Amino acid sequence: MRRFALLVCCMIPVSAAAAAAATPKPVPVLLRADPNVDACPSFLRVKLPEGGREGFLSLRAGPGTAWPEIARLRPATSMIACSEKADWIAVIIQPGGGGDCAIPVPTGKPLRYAGPCRHGWVNRRFVETVAG
């Protein structure tokens, strides 16, 4: 019995460490640096396929399904596109009441968006461009 308890006790830390190593670090939403262009130049909205199973679009911590889901976006949710990586777009979610997301003016240096609005990555297949 002691041998079994020791085996179980030793497996838990290894399993937790393996799970932590498998989750990639969040990828920041970077704002454009060019002072002659808006930091996040396009406006998008969620557009899911007709008859889709899920009914939401996952906002992720990085550009791919390996990153954890940080929010679920409903159809027609508005967002601002800041940068891209392959089929993924780094976005800032616009508040429903039209609040200010405090996106700084480009200064010539790339900046990480830190809030106050929710932000992350969405798959480009499930959004449509509204402006920009």
Residue 76 has pLDDT above 60, yes or no: yes
Query: Domains in the chain: how many in total?
Result: 1
Is residue 12 assigned to a domain? no
3-state secondary structure (DSSP) of residue 44 = strand
Is residue 50 assigned to a domain? yes
Domain of residue 102, residue span: 25-131
Higher pLDDT, 52 or 101: 101
**Which range, of 5-14, 58-67, 115-124, averages the lowest pLDDT?**
5-14
Is residue 6 assigned to a domain? no
- 89-101: per-residue pLDDT in tens? 999 999 876 778 9
Higher pLDDT, 20 or 79: 79
Phi, psi of 97 (to 5 degrees): -85, 5
Is residue 10 assigned to a domain? no
Is residue 20 assigned to a domain? no
Residue 102 sits in a domain of what CATH number? 2.30.30.40
Is residue 33 assigned to a domain? yes
Residues in the chain: 132
Question: Which among 43, 49, 101 is positioned nearest to 75, based on CA atoms?
Answer: 49
**Which range, of 6-15, 23-32, 60-69, 71-80, averages the lowest pLDDT?**
6-15
Is residue 44 assigned to a domain? yes
